Each structure stands twice: as structure tokens, then as C-alpha cells.
Amino acid sequence: MPPEPAAVTTAAVTTAAVTTAPVTNAALTTLWSGGYTASMGGSAHGIGLVTWDGAELVWGGTIAETSSPSWLARKGSTLYAADEAAGLVSAFRIENESLRFIGSEATSGQHPCHIAIIDETLVVSNYGGGSIDVIPLESDGSLGRPLPPLSAHGSGPRPQQEGPHAHSTLAAAPGVVLSADLGTDHVHVHRGSARALTRDRSIQLPPGTGPRDLVALGERVLVLAEFGSRIFELTADAVVADAPIVTDPGDADQAAGLIAGADGRFLYAGLRGTNRIAVVDAVTLQPVGSVPSAGDWPRHLVVADDVLFVCNQRSDSVAAFVIDAATGMPEFAASTAVPTPTFLGDTRER
């Protein structure tokens, strides 16, 4: 759940000095980093770069100053950022080693925390109020006018579930878009193209679980619950399986950042509280094991090739783990200081 902002501002978006670290280099893995700036009580200054050369992890500094870019998404030569503090989505043109701001649009709800790119549109989850925004993309990557949002209502039994909290979306199949509502314990099913979505039905998860992150593995859809340290598998209409992600969950753990490994055999998730990375067998959904996250509050994870990178938000650090191909277990390799990181993304276009 996003913290309350220290001071909600609409700080101007500017391009900062370019770092010496290249955005793409065949010898390096280069990651975009997003994080909380002063507008959300953090120490970041905008979008930055982290590089990994197989031995050393290096923070390359800020390449574009902007307010609290807590989630990033790339399409072609454009990078999009969600500003949780100001309720904006911004677009940046990728120009060699720098980012150039090209525009922004306001979201319909507060604290936009996730962006998915579906059918030439941005589909934005607003944690505050639970609405989903659809923003068409122009041919040059710039933002079009937002379409009418998909609204939400309801609540859950936990104090953190006082109202709807949209947390992520996923294109589960052609013409099917799912959204996880952490506040109401539902995964909503939408049909149509992204520019003409209709909410078809909703899948109820157990009360108080807080569905947070969605992952597709082929035709399977998996959901990570923030509370209770569990993972669920869904069909089009119901939950068909669920399992704990660790054998020894902490009472106060809040799970975050579900991702699949490069070969799809294992799943990884952060446990904020006990500060661990959980490893799950993707076929059986049974826990394989866990390792310390090498920091505090592992919020977001990304796998690039055979390396797992972890944002440790509260310790202002990013850690790298080499994944054992046979067991799926990550082994700590390096860490570097990164200001209040909340997101990492591979700069290579997929």
C-alpha cells in the first residue's frame, strides 16, 4: 500500500544531467529505476539507472527528474511513469542516454501505482479510489485523452481495505483484461479491446487476502495476495488452487512483486516484514524456499536473464541475486545504494 505523501505536489518534470552509464550496452544489464521522491516522503529525485556487469551492481544516478515515478512501462522509444503523488501519468522520449519529457495526463483517482500497455493504450491502476484509467497512445508514443474510467466500489475486512484499491492489470488473453482490487478482494474480468473495456464479472478471493499482483504463465493466471502470504490460480470464473508461498510466513508480512523466472519454472515474491524473497514451484505452487532480501521492504522484483534484482525500498538499496538454474534458488551477489526504489525494469525492449 502506498504511504501517505508527505506533501502532494505537482512538481515540474525536467530532464536532469545525463549519466555516463549507457542505456543499452551488450556487456551490461541496464535497468530503469523508479522511486519515491520528496512528494511521497522518499529520497529519490526521479528516474534513474542501475547497471550490472556480472560482478558489480552500480547506481548510475538520476537521468530525468520527476515526482515519485513509482512504476514505469516502456513501449518503443517512449517510457511512461506513474506519479503516485500528483495523480499523473507522464511520457518521456528515450534519446540515447537521456529521457526527454513529452507530456502528462491526470488520472481519475489518487496514487496511480501500476501501468500496463495493452492494445496501444496505457491501462492505469489507481490505488486511491480503485478506478482503472485507459489512456490511448498516439502514433508517436505521446498520450491521448483518457477515456471514461472503470470505477469500483466495496471494501474488505482489514483496516487497509477501507475501500477499493486497484493495484495491477493484466492482458490474460486476447480481449480479456484482468484487474486486481486489493481493497475488495476481487479480481475483475473485463472484455473487449482496451479502448472499449466492459466489466464482465468479478472473481471473489477469500476475505482479507488483498489480491495485488497478476502473472500469466501460458493460459494460467496467478495472483499474489498481499496479506497471508498466499498465491492463487484462477480460471475465467473462479479460484481453482491456492497455496502458501513460504512454509513459515510472518504474521505481519506483506507480499509484493510476483514475477516468473526466465524459463517459467519458478516464481519469486518479496515478503515485506521478514524481508525475504520467496521461491515457489510454478507448476505445483508449492514453496521451494526463501532467502533474505539483503535489505528492508522488498517491494518490486525483476528477472533479467539468470539474475534476480530486488528493490529494497526502506533501506534505499537494490540487490542482485544469481539464480541457480536447477533449484531456482537465488544466491546473493551484490548490492548498491539506490534512493527509495519502488520499481526496476530492463531497459531492453521486449
Q: How far apart are CA 183 and CA 129, in angstroms?
A: 9
pLDDT at 64: 97
Q: What are phi and psi of 46, to 5 degrees?
A: 150, -145
User: Which is nearest to 135 in space by CA: 120, 153, 151?
Assistant: 120
Per DSSP (E only), the strands in 160-229 are 166-173, 176-181, 186-191, 198-204, 211-217, 220-225
Which amino acid appears at position 203 of this protein?
A: I
pLDDT averaged per 10 residues in sequence order, the chain, 350 residues: 37 31 58 98 98 97 98 97 98 93 98 96 97 97 96 96 98 95 98 91 97 96 97 93 96 97 97 98 97 98 96 98 97 98 88
Instruction: List Cα–Cα distances, 5 to 98, 126, 224, 246, 261, in angstroms.
Output: 28, 15, 25, 32, 33
Q: State pTM to two decimals.
A: 0.92
pLDDT digits (tens, 9 = 90+) for 233-268: 999 889 999 999 999 999 999 999 999 999 999 999
pLDDT at 39: 97
pLDDT at 5: 35
pLDDT at 26: 44
pLDDT at 348: 83
pLDDT at 350: 57
pLDDT at 237: 85
pLDDT at 156: 98
pLDDT at 349: 67
Tell me the β-bridge partners of 83. 69, 88
pLDDT at 27: 67
Domain chopping of the chain, boundaries:
108-204
Q: How far apart are CA 58 and CA 55, in angstroms?
A: 10
pLDDT at 222: 98
